[in-house]
Structure 1
Amino acid sequence: MKTTAKTGAAVAAVAVVAGGILALPSLLDQGPRAGTEQRLQAEPGQGKTGQGKTGQGKTGPADAKPFTLVATGDIIPYPSIVQRAADDAQGSGAGHDFRKILAGVKPLVAAADLAICHHEIPYGRPGGPYTGYPAFKAPHQLADALKDAGYDSCSTGSNHTLDDGYDGLVRTLDHLDRVGIKHVGSARSADEAKAPALLSAGGARVAQLDYTYGTNGIPLPAGKPWAVNLIDQNRIIADARAARAAGANVVVLSVHWGTEWQTAPDRQQLDLAQALTASRGTDGLPDIDLILGTHNHVPQPYEKINGTWVVFGMGDQVASFYEADKARGNMSSIPRFTFAPAAAHAGRWEVVKAEYLTQFSDMGPPFRVVCTSCAASDTAPGAAKQAAYAAVDKQVSAAVLARGADRQGLERATR
C-alpha cells in the first residue's frame, strides 16, 4: 500500500459513512520448511473441527466431509493503530495487544474450519521503533492476536514485505512460526519458497500459494532471489500442479495485485484470473480452486470465472484512513466458501456454497474492526452507528456484486 494515514485527533469515519460521503469508484528459528511433497505427506489434520487441529487421520473417503474457508483482507497497522494496541496493553505487562482490535470478527474467524489472513507488513525489532508509510514496521504481538482470533495461515507476499529488509522478513516468519500460524509468499530459504502453506480440514489437504506484483522498488536481497514470490503466470500454474501432484486436494491462491483505490479489477487482474482459472491438469480439472486478491485498499468484485471463484480484492481489514476521500479504505469484505467432496471426481473438493460478509475499521475511539453485516440486529452501538454500519454494508455489497456474483450464487451472510 502506498498511501498515508494521519494520526492525531480522530475524525470519526462512521459519521462520514452515515453522512453518505463515501463513494464507490525472542525469536524461535524454526529453520527452513521441507519441500512441497514432504510437507504434504507429513502434516495431516490441521483444521479446526472434525479431522481438525485436534484430530489426526488419513485423507480418504471415510474422512471426507464439507469444510468452510474464511479469508480477510490486508492488515496494515498504521501508527495510530499501533498506539491503540499499546493503550489496550496497559497493565498487562505486554507492550502491545491487538486482540481487542480483532475481537469483533473473532467469532467468524474462529468458527471457520480454515481461516486465512493477509499479513501486509513486517515486524520491527522488539521495542521498536514502529513506523508507518512508506516503510512499515509493526510490533510482533500482532502474531499473538492473529492466533487468538483463530487464523490458520497468512499470505505474506506484498509490496511491503521488504520494508525492513530481509531481517524484517525473517523476523515476521519466525514470529508466525512461534504462534503456530502457517505462512506463504515470502521465505527464508529456497526450499521454503517452493513449498505451499499446508492446511487440512474435512479430510482434505489444502495447499495455499501466494505471490505479489512487486516490492515497491526494493530489490530482492542479494543472493536470495527466492525471498519474495513475484507474480509469474507460468510459475503459479507450475506450483499449483506440483502441490496437486504431491497430494493437495484443494489449491487456494492468494495474490497481491491490481490498482489501488480502484473498485473495478484492472487489466492485469482480469487477464491473469482468466488464464489461471482456465488452466487444467492432465485430468481436465482446474489447477486452482479459489483465488483471493489483496492490495487495492477497497473492496472489489467477486466473480466465478471458468467455474472457479475469484475474489478480486477483499479490501483492508485493519487500516486507519482518516481522510474523508479515503475512508472507503476502512471497508472490506470477508469471503466464506464451503467446500465438499466432488461426487464426480475422487480426491477432489469443490465449492458448494459461496458467501460474503462485510466489515469496517471503526475509528472509534477506540479503534475496532467490526462485522457490519452482522450488526443489523445489534442495538448496543446505538442508532447512529447502526446506520453507519448499514451504510458500510450497502457500499461493500455493491462493490462485491458489481460483476454479477449474486447471479452466480454468491450469498450475503449475517453471521
Structure 2
Amino acid sequence: MTGMILFIAGCGRSPDHQSPIDDATILTVTFAGDLGLGLAVQSYPWIEKNGYHAAFANVRPVIKDTDFFIPNLESPITDPETPSIFPKRRPRQPPEVATALQDEGVTIVGLANNHQMDFGKPGLDSTLKYLHAAGIKTFGAGENLAQATEPLILEKNGYKVAVVAGCRPRKWQLLATDELAGVAPLERKPWSKAIKKAKKKADFVVALPHWGECNKSKISDEEKKYAQITVDAGADLVIGHHPHIPQTMEIIRGVPVLYSIGNFIFHGIRQIELEKGPRNLRFDYSWVTKVEWTRRGLKSITIIPFFNNNLKTDFTPRPAEPKNARWLYERLLPEGYWEQTGNRAVIRFL
C-alpha cells in the first residue's frame, strides 16, 4: 500500500480534478466502525489468555482484501500511569494494541471520536506516539484545529480519494481549536471548510462523521441536519459511526448516507451490559463497508455483516448468517437499491 491519504471530516468529488485512470481500474477503500480492544474488565481474562491478535481471526480477510482499510480507533492508547481527566474510570488501550494493529495490517485509523481525549492531551500524544511508531497513519485529531482537520489523501495509480472525519461536541470531550489540541469538530463551519478543502485536492471525498446517539436505532434530528450540511458541502459518500449499531441508509441528492455502520472489534463496557437484557437483533451486528470506484465515479458499496455480541462470540466477531443479514438489510437499506450475495449486500451505482 503506497501513496498519500487524505482524511478530513466530510467527503465529496471534485470534477475539476479528474485523474487519467482507465475505467477498468478499481480503487477500493474499506471502512469499519469502532475499534477498541480489551476495554471492558470482562474482557481482561480473555485477552490475557488469547492475546489481542485472536480477536482478528474472522476479520482478517476484509482488512487484506482492499487497497486501504480504515477503522475508527475509539479509545486512546496510553501507558497505565497516564491519568484520566474524568473522575470515573475511562477505558484505555495499552501500547501493545498498536503493535497488534500493525501485525494485522491496519495502516490507518481515524481518531475523531468522543473518547479520544479521555486522557487529555497527554493521552492524545501517547496515542499518536505509539501509532506512528507502528507505521500507522492517523487523522481526525491533532495539536490544533488545523492539524485535526487537515485532509489526508489516499492515492493509487494517480487517483485520489479524500477522507474526512469529525465528531459532534460532547460535554466530556475536547474539541480542537486554533490553540488547543483535540479531535476534529463536527460543526458547520470547520466541517464544511474541511470538505471543501478536500475537494480541491482529490477526485472523491468520503465523510466519516462520529454522531448520533448510542444504541439508538432511530436517526436523530441532529444526524439528519448534519447529513444535509455534509452533502451541501460537497461530500460524495457519508459513512457514520458512534451509535454502536447499524442504522438506516438513505440517498440525499444522489449521495449515499450510511448513518451508522456500528462497531468493528469493540470490547466495550456498554455493549456487554446491554447483552444482559432484552435485545433487538441489530444490537448484535455491525457492518464493514467496502467501497469501489472507477474513473467515472462510485461503482459500488458492499456491506459485509458481522455478528459481534461479545458474550456469544468470545470477543471475536464472526460473519453474520445470511438470513440474519437479510433481516437487517430489509429494514435498513433503501428498497430496490441492493442485492444480496451470500451474507453480503451490494449496492451498485455504475
- Which amino acid letter does the alignment assign opposite residue 198 of structure 1? I
Following superposition of structure 1 onto structure 2, how do residues 11-410 of structure 1 map, counting pairs within 5 Å? 44=3, 60-62=19-21, 65-76=25-36, 77-88=39-50, 97-125=51-79, 135-219=90-174, 224-245=179-200, 247-279=201-233, 287-317=234-264, 318-319=266-267, 320-321=271-272, 322-325=275-278, 328-342=282-296, 350-361=297-308, 362-364=310-312, 366-373=314-321, 390-391=323-324, 393-401=325-333, 404=334, 406-409=335-338
Q: CA RMSD in A?
A: 3.1
* Structure 1 residue 339: Cα displacement: 1.1
Amino acid at match of 1:230: P
Q: Measure, in 2, the Cα distance between the counterparts of 1:197 and 1:238.
A: 14
Show CA shifts across 1:141-173 (max 9, x none): 222333333334222111111111111111112
User: Judging changes above 3 Å, is the alpha-carbon distance between structure 1 residues 111 and 140 closer, same or farther for their aligned structure 2 residues?
Assistant: same
Q: Aligned partners of 1:369 and 1:171: how far apart in 2? A: 28
State the TM-score, normalizing by the size of structure 2: 0.80
Larger CA Rg, structure 1 vs 2: 1
Deviation at 1:301, TM superposition (A): 1.2
For the 8 Å contact 1:356–1:412, the answer to whether it is kept is: no
Q: How many Å apart are 1:191 and its aligned residue?
A: 4.2
Shift of 1:192: 2.0
Whether contact under 8 Å (2:176, 2:183) holds in the other structure is no
Aligned residues: 320
1:324 aligned counterpart, secondary structure: coil
In the aligned structure 2, how far is the partner of 1:216 from the partner of 1:159? 9
Cα gap change, 1:264/1:137 in structure 2, threshold over 3 Å: closer, same or farther? same
SS in 1 for 2:142: coil
The one-letter code matched in structure 1 to 2:20 is P
Higher RCO, Cα 8 Å, sep 6+: 2
- Residue type matched to 1:232 in 2? E
Counterparts in 2 of 1:372 and 1:124: CA distance versus 1, 3 Å? same
Secondary structure of the corresponding residue to residue 235 of structure 2? coil
**Is the 2:145–2:177 Cα contact (8 Å) retained in structure 1?**
no
Give the alignment's TM-score, normalised by structure 1.
0.68
Residues 222 and 235 (structure 1), Cα distance of their counterparts in 2 relative to 1, 3 Å cut: closer
Contact 1:101–1:369 (8 Å) recurs in 2? yes
Change in Cα spacing, 1:244 to 1:78, as seen in structure 2 (3 Å) is same
CA distance in 1, matches of 2:29, 2:53: 21
**What is the identity percentage for the equivalent residue pairs of Structure 1 and Structure 2?**
21
Structure 1 position 100, deviation (Å):
1.2
Partner SS for 1:309:
strand
Between the aligned partners of 2:337 and 2:288, the Cα distance in structure 1 is: 17
Change (3 A) 1:202 1:363: farther
* Structure 1 gap segments, 5+ residues each: 1-42, 48-58, 89-96, 280-286, 343-349, 377-389
Displacement after TM superposition at 1:183 (Å): 1.6
- Please, which runs of 5 or more residues in structure 2 have no aligned partner? 7-17, 345-350
- Separation in 2 of the partners of 1:238 and 1:120? 24
Report the CA distance between 1:368 and its aligned residue.
0.9
Give the whole-Å Cα distance in 2 for the aligned partners of 1:261 and 1:125.
Answer: 29
Higher strand share: 2
Q: 1:290 to 1:222 in 2, by over 3 A?
A: closer
Distance 1:371 1:232, change over 3 A: same
Q: Provide the C-alpha distance between the structure 2 equivalents of 1:125 and 1:212, rounded to a whole number of angstroms.
A: 25
Distance 1:117 1:143 in 2: 13
Aligned amino acid, residue 187 of structure 1: G
